[in-house]
Homo-oligomer: A and B are copies of this chain.
Amino acid sequence: MNAYAQKSKDELNGQLTALLSEYEVFKNEGHSLDISRGKPCKEQLDLSVGMMDTLSSKSSLNAQNGFDCRNYGIIDGIEEAKELFSQLFDVAKSEIVIGGNSSLGMMYDAMIRAILFGVSEDAKPWGEQGEVKFVCPSPGYDRHFHLCEELGIKMIPVGMDENGPDMDAVRKIVESDESVKGMWCVPKFSNPTGVVYSDEVVRAIAALKPAAKDFRVFWDNAYAVHDLYERVELLSLLDECKKAGNADMVYMFGSTSKVSFAGSGIAILAASEANIAHAKSHMKFQTIGSDKLNQLRHVRFFKNTDGVYAHMKKHAQVIGTKFDIVDDILTERVGKSELAEWIKPKGGYFISLDVKYGSAKKVVGMMKDAGIMITPAGVTFPYGDDPRDSNIRIAPTFTGNDALSLAMKTLCLCINIVSIEDALKGK
């Protein structure tokens, strides 16, 4: 029951007039703020600036095995980079391919291979099997959903709670329909809800018995080391899949985009040796190998997992402050009055806000009109369709703290205005 539900019409009208005039003043000030995307801010990028000095004309540019990293070759990455990632992602070196600067690109490539060649030597290409469907826990990552749309893959939304996807729903869909070929997951600090998949959920995914033999979980572990406070453990899906006799069922992805530099990080694909061998058997027609100097740069800068963890603590300080700003303002201005709900995540890049059903689009529209870039309402759902029109994704990292405060206060202002308008309409 929100704070406006029991107020008199006069009271509501009075408050609305005051808030609308506040909104108009803000709007006329001509702001340009951005809380739309999970981009690191300058302060975060500066944390890795030392990486620019790890290689110079005076450095050895050879990998540990003596290979000249400047030259062509080594399609799956230099050994020392594979070593670092194998520890960070809890997989063997033989279960890794290192790619370019974009894990999204690696997901795209994995999709393309599945569509054109099939997921294994003896599998039929997805593209020759009629309709292909993906399970999409929602709200989720808009770029995953857009990629499905681009490739003509039908999306089936399933709900998310604080432990991850609704596994009863997932099981039912995956195990009954042979045209369901995949499932998107952001298992740790999920985009946008910030949820970490529970051990139970990870094990339930590993134990799936898909109707389609060529079913693959696309496990986008984008925030594997992006803890804000103490380290939150996520079970290794690959390990669990092996235990369940499903070793080939998962493709895991990760990157240093939000560890080092967003545009110049390194991305990885991790999977069973059979899956890696199959991927490489096709990748060799596409590239001679990714940028090994950038791999070397990363390894020399971070040195080892401890180096990465220590580095991520610095990110956590910057991001933690921003999450606090968001949480404090929300609590004060819409939480106490029960106008919105959210979970304050323990890591990741997003805070996912649920406003009253039917009002997210309106709130986001008002934000946009007031010069604040915010993720369009609905895009965290397949086909941009939030059935409740309730979810708003907040990406607090990119903007400065003062601007973030201002944007959040304006967001709360908009939520209050829309809530009063609803109350006046008796909604």
A residues with CB within 8 A of B: 37, 39-40, 42, 45, 48-50, 52-53, 55-57, 59, 61, 68-73, 100-102, 104-105, 108, 112, 115-116, 127, 143, 146-147, 150-151, 257, 261-264, 282, 285-294
Chain B nearest CB from A343 CB (Å) reads 25
Residues on the B chain within 8 Å of A101, using CB: 100, 290-291
Q: Are A151 and B116 in contact (CB under 8 A)?
A: yes
Choose from B53, B116, B261, B282 the contact partner of A293 (Cβ within 8 Å).
B261
The docked-state distance in angstroms from the alpha carbon of A45 to that of B116 is: 37
Chain B nearest CB from A294 CB (Å) reads 7
Task: Name 19 interchain pairs, CB-CB below 8 A, sorted by A.
Answer: A39-B72, A40-B71, A45-B70, A49-B61, A50-B57, A52-B55, A53-B56, A53-B57, A72-B263, A102-B288, A108-B285, A108-B287, A116-B151, A146-B285, A150-B282, A263-B288, A263-B289, A263-B291, A291-B294
Choose from B39, B59, B104 the contact partner of A52 (Cβ within 8 Å).
B59
Interface centre among A151, A262, A263 (most CB of B within 10 A): A263
Closest 7 CB pairs of A and B: A150-B285, A70-B261, A108-B286, A72-B262, A264-B293, A49-B57, A45-B70
Q: Are A70 and B264 in contact (CB under 8 A)?
A: yes
Chain B nearest CB from A404 CB (Å) reads 17
- With A68-B45, A264-B292 in contact, do A104 and B151 touch (Cβ < 8 Å)? no
Q: Are B45 and A52 in contact (CB under 8 A)?
A: no
Q: For residue A296, which residue of chain B has the nearest CB?
A: B264
Choose from B40, B70, B104, B286 the contact partner of A288 (Cβ within 8 Å).
B104
Residues on the B chain within 8 Å of A56, using CB: 52-53, 56
Residues on the B chain within 8 Å of A102, using CB: 286-288
Q: Are A291 and B71 in contact (CB under 8 A)?
A: no
Q: Are B57 and A294 in contact (CB under 8 A)?
A: no
The docked-state distance in angstroms from the alpha carbon of A285 to that of B111 is: 12
Residues on the B chain within 8 Å of A55, using CB: 52
The docked-state distance in angstroms from the alpha carbon of A71 to that of B39 is: 7
Q: Are A294 and B264 in contact (CB under 8 A)?
A: yes
Residues on the B chain within 8 Å of A147, using CB: 285-286
Q: Are B293 and A263 in contact (CB under 8 A)?
A: yes
The docked-state distance in angstroms from the alpha carbon of A285 to that of B156 is: 19
